[in-house]
Amino acid sequence: MKSSWIIIAILALASCRGGEGNVNGEAAAENAVAFADFLAIQGNTVRSFNSWQDKGAKSETYRLVPRDCTGILASDPMAIGVPLRSVICMSTTYLPHIKLLGDADIVKGVSGTRFIYDSLYSAMAEEGLIADVGAETSPDYEKILFLDCDAVLAYGISGSDNSYIDKLRTLGRKVIVINDYLEPSVMGKLEYIKLFGSLLGKREMADSIFLAKKREYESAKDCCSNENKTQVLVNLPFKGIWYVPGKDSYMAELVRDAGGQILGAEEGENLSSQKSFEQMYSLASDAGVWIHLNQALRKSDVSAENPMFSKIPAFKEGNLYNNNKRVTPAGGSDYWESGALYPDEILKDMIQIFHPQIAEKNFPERELVYYIKLDN
C-alpha cells in the first residue's frame, strides 16, 4: 500500500514538472509552430518573442503545468496552470480564438468592452458577465484583482508604456504576453490558434482548425494564381502622410494572394512606409481599386477629405471599398477583432473586389463579409 502512494507521488511530481518541452533542454520537443515568427510551442513550453522591448529580454518563456500543481504555480510567475478556466483579455482579438474553441464563458474581463463586435461577448458584457478592466495604459488593477482569473492575456507596443505587465505580475497575476499583431504573414497570425489550444487544453482541436482554414485559404488563393494583378491603392493620408504597407507585410500578402498589387509598397519591408500626398496621387492614376478609406461609408466622405480624390480613376469608376462593414457604435472593428482568424473570408472578399468574375465562378452568390462598396 505504501509503495502505491509513492508511485502516485512520483507521477504527480513528473506531471507538475511539465514533461518535455524545455526550449533550452537537450530533449526539447519539436516546435509545433511553422509560420509564426514571434511564437514557439515545444511540448509544454511556450516562448513569446517581441520587438518592442528596448532593454532586457526579447522573449518570455512560459511553462504549462497541470492547474492542480499549486506549489509550482505559486513559486514560479512564468508557470501557467492549464487548462485555463478564467481569463482577462487586454485585446478583443483574443476573443474569437477562445470562442471558436468552445470556451467563451471563461472570459471574465476585457479591455474596452464597448469595442467588442461579437454578439455573444457583447451580450455577456451587457449582462455583467464580462467586466471592463480599462485600457492597458490605465488598467483597473482593483477590478483585475477582484476577478482573480487564471491569467491575463496581454500585449506590449513599441514606444508605449508597457509597465502594466510587470505591475500585474508584482500583484500576483499570471500574465501571458501575446504578440500576434507583430506577425507579418497570414499563416503566422492564424497559427496563434495553436497557442490558445495549448492554454485551453484543446491542442488537437486547434490544430484541426488551423489546417482546415489553411486549406480553405489556399484553395481561394489558387483561383487567382494565373490572373493579371489588379493595381490597388491602399489607405487615405493621415495628417499629410500616406502610410503604405510594405511588400513583406500581412496586408500585402493578402492583396497579392487575391490577385492584387499594392501601389507604392516598398520591397523587403514588413512595416508601412511613409509617402507624401504627391507621390501617391501620381501613382493613383494606375489604381483599379481603392481600399481601406479610414471611416468612410460613402464616396462623398472620401471627396470631403480632399476634392482632388474625386479625380482618381478608381473613384470615378466606383471601385472604392472599405473594411468597416462590421463595426460597433464606439468604433470597434470586427475586421481587426476576428479577421486574423478568418483570413479565408478576407481573401474571398478581396477576390470579389479585385476579380469579380473569378469570385462568381468559384463562390457564386457570396456576399462580402468584412468589406462594403462605397456609393454616392
For the chain, what is the domain count?
Answer: 2
Task: Judge whether 23 and 61 are in contact, CB under 8 Å.
Answer: yes
pLDDT in tens, 234-264: 999 998 899 999 999 999 999 999 999 999 9
Same domain, 174 and 67: yes
Same domain, 158 and 103: yes
Element (H, E) at 174: none
Same domain, 102 and 239: no
Same domain, 80 and 208: yes
Rounded Cα distance, 157 and 297, in Å: 30
> Residue 244: inside a domain, yes or no?
yes
Same domain, 207 and 269: no
Same domain, 200 and 138: yes
Question: Which residues, in sequence order, are CB contacts of 260 under 8 Å at separation 6+?
Answer: 229, 230, 231, 232, 289, 350, 354
Same domain, 313 and 335: yes
Q: Which domain holds residue 33?
A: 15-215
Same domain, 192 and 228: no
pLDDT in tens, 94-119: 999 999 999 999 999 999 999 999 99
pTM of the full predicted structure?
0.92
Q: Which of 215, 250, 283 is the last residue in one of the domains?
A: 215
> Residue 1: inside a domain, yes or no?
no
Which CATH number do you get for residue 41? 3.40.50.1980
Per cent of the chain over pLDDT 90 is: 85
> Residue 4: inside a domain, yes or no?
no
Same domain, 161 and 264: no
Same domain, 234 and 154: no
Above 90 in pLDDT, residue 47?
yes
Helix axes 203-222, 343-354, angle to 10 degrees: 10
Q: Quick one: pLDDT at residue 227?
A: 81
In this structure, what C-alpha cell is assigned to residue 361? 465562378
In this structure, what C-alpha cell is assigned to residue 24? 533550452
Whole-number mean pLDDT of the chain?
Answer: 91
In this structure, what C-alpha cell is assigned to residue 47? 516562448
> Residue 7: inside a domain, yes or no?
no
Task: Judge whether 18 and 7 are in contact, CB under 8 Å.
Answer: no
